[in-house]
Amino acid sequence: MPRRKKKIIITSLFMASAVIVAAWSLWNEEEKSRYVPGSMVEGLTNRLNREIPENYKPVSFKDVTSAAGIEFTHFNSARTSQLPEDMGSGVAWFDYNNDGWDDLLLLNFSTPLGEQTGTDSTVKRNSSLFKNNQDGTFEDVSQQAGLDLNARAMGIASGDYNNDGWQDLFITAFGENMLFRNNGDGTFSDVSKLTGISGEKGFWAGASWADYDRDGDLDLYVTGYVKYIDFGLTDEDLAAEEPPSINPSSFRPERNLFYRNNGNGTFTEVAKEAGIVNESGRSLSASWVDINNDFWPDLYVANDVSDNILYINRQDGTFEDFSHSAHVADYRGAMGIATGDWDTDGDMDLFITHWIAQENALYTNRWVDTLASRGQGRLQFKDDSAIHGLGQSSLDFVSWATSFADFDLDSRPDLFVVNGSTFQYPDNPSKLKPMTDQIYWNSGNKAGYFDVSAVSGPYFKEEHVGRGAAYSDYDHDGDIDLFILNHNGPGILLNNEQDLGNNWLAVRLEQTGTSLLHGTRIRAVSDGISQIRQLASQSSYLSQNSMVSHFGLGKHQMVDTLEIILPDGHREIFTNIQPNQIFKVTPNAKNL
């Protein structure tokens, strides 16, 4: 072999070896730096780790499920590794009998996909309605009320669609959705066909009511998840942590539905005409909330492995997509939505829960800031999760239900987050891996949130496969309690046992005629501190919170001003309200 050719070959081999060594070193460094859930990552973990502040006074929650007379198991079956079975079901606090006390509806995914719904079984798998006995206990009235549903039920939203003063129920399902009219006598009637909302078969998830066109009746938005197809599983699939049958990316997105109330007891589906059909999104939750303070309800949609969407109400029956320009288009695995003014600056912020290692998002609304500094509003959000303690602390979790709520009554909205894995055990695919839930304390605008789960009671040390959850002061003691619905496990009632001596005010609106409640803005001012609530704006995950608005007052002895602004723009103002009471208001045209 010629010397020159031999030299070229040796040089080429040397260079190839160097490239291989460099590539191996780079790969090895990437493997070392790749985040593994639960592990310590130098820099990231150490810089963002937060210890509970010394000035935090713990709020403890006690599991009182059994003492309250509630017995409920969600999906009391062996799962078959199919996506619809794993997404969970929701819970709703609502006053179905208008006695002033929140009752509790728990949805159930009644049967695995391999079985027929409605079949006889000795195992209770139906949904359940529990009436509040006003003494800390509940009574199961499901059968009497007509809500002992044997269905693959998922999400729930209550609202008075026919303006008769009684809360009706819309329930989403894997299959066909259902609308139940409250008859006012303790019973409900299925009016799905009568109202025109039946016949749409699919994989439906969240639902949310609002009077989007301000015509005096409630309209309904329904999120569609994916076009699910059972393509069969091999033994190799079942032995994986996440087989393709439980991966949403395996399926095409389902469209969303929007039902305009015709004012005569019927609905017309107008999602495409309104511009909010969201055909490319795998939608799980949607919240109606006035983002730009123009008193028209806007719409935020949380999509799984597809862009989230913020629709701004054009006030003409249509909406405009502001997702990218407002910096909330968020392509992650989004599940639950919380809306609230976390920094008490007068506009509504967003908190979104995500899949594992993606960090939950705290979108701070900068509308008021830009309005003040520029003379005109520019809709823009900033993800403050990392700097305010909500990012790194969520990396190890798959997070679902969430809401802002002032648990310690110090006038700042705290957060709860319900967690539960989507990974199954390879050696036992009938079970999903459990996780602990989280409580976050709002310490103020400077430092933000701290995970205080470790000192919030024994339940927050237990592991469950959490999904739906909602809050209510069900026992009227002034603080906010929780109900958490765990997949393939128990429903849990957590009683808030705080005893910090802080004052509070609960505002209960009572509907008569066309004085709609959904979307009402309530502002309480005490010693210069202003707090706002927008009624029924927090969709949590497949769930609905109490319609009673709670305000923590700290040590303040008076609510100086209480302002109530109805969806149609009418307002009512009360002054010098004594704390520690449920303040009842019946807003209507003649006293505005």
Tokens of 378: 């520019």
Where b means 16+ CB within 10 Å and e means fewer, 334-358 reads: bbbbbbbbbbbbbbbbbbbbbbbeb
Residue 27 has a pLDDT of 46
Place of tokens 């669609």: 161
Give, in order, the Cα–Cα distances in Å from 424 to each of 39, 225, 238.
20, 21, 9
Residue 232 has a pLDDT of 76
Tell me if the pTM is above 0.85. Answer: yes
328-337 pLDDT tens trace: 998 899 999 9
Tokens of 200: 């749409």
Residue 568 has a pLDDT of 80
CATH number for the 61-375+382-524 domain, one of 2.130.10.10, 3.40.50.10540, 2.40.440.10, 3.40.50.1980?
2.130.10.10
Q: Mean of the pLDDT values across residues 301-315?
A: 96
Whether residue 280 is predicted with pLDDT greater than 50 in this model: the reply is yes
What is the secondary structure of 508-546 as a DSSP string?
Answer: EE---TT---TT-EEEEEETTEEEEEETT---BTT-B--
Cβ atoms 322, 379 nearer than 8 A: yes
133-191 pLDDT tens trace: 999 999 999 999 999 999 999 999 999 999 999 999 999 999 999 999 999 999 999 99
User: Nearest 5°: CA angle at 150, between 144 and 156?
Assistant: 80
Amino acid identity at 20: I
Cβ atoms 458, 439 nearer than 8 A: no
Q: How many CB atoms lie within 10 A of CB 484?
A: 28
Exposed/middle/buried for residue 396 (C-beta within 10 Å: 0-12, 13-18, 19+)? middle
Q: Mean of the pLDDT values across residues 537-545?
A: 95
**Cα–Cα dist 82/422, whole Å:** 11
Parallel, antiparallel or unpaired: strands 319-321 and 309-313: antiparallel
Residue 125 has a pLDDT of 81
Question: Residues 45, 47, 51, 55: what is their CA dihedral angle, to the nearest 10 degrees?
Answer: -160
Give, in order, the Cα–Cα distances in Å from 323 to each of 286, 327, 331, 340, 495.
14, 6, 11, 18, 38
What is the secondary structure of 402-444 as a DSSP string?
Answer: EEEE-SS-SSS-EEEEEE--SPEETTEEEEEPPB--EEEEE--
**Cα–Cα dist 179/382, whole Å:** 38
By 3-state DSSP, what share of the chain in percent is helix, strand and coil, each rounded to 5?
A: 15, 35, 50
Among 479, 519, 485, 452, which residue's Cα sits nearest to residue 212? 519
> 3-state class of 101 per DSSP?
coil
233-269 pLDDT tens trace: 777 777 777 888 999 999 999 999 999 999 999 999 9
Residue 243 has a pLDDT of 85
Query: Could you tell me the residue ranges of all domains in the chain?
Result: 61-375+382-524
Q: Residue 377 — pLDDT band, cuts 50, 70, 90?
A: low
Whether residue 45 is predicted with pLDDT greater than 50 in this model: the reply is no
Residue 177 has a pLDDT of 97
13-40 pLDDT tens trace: 445 454 444 445 444 444 444 445 455 5
Q: Mean of the pLDDT values across residues 101-118?
A: 87
**Cα–Cα dist 86/432, whole Å:** 8
Among 338, 337, 328, 288, which residue's Cα sits nearest to residue 308? 328
Give, in order, the Cα–Cα distances in Å from 179 to each of 95, 162, 331, 451.
17, 12, 32, 38
Q: How many CB atoms lie within 10 A of CB 494?
A: 24
Tokens of 402: 């969430």
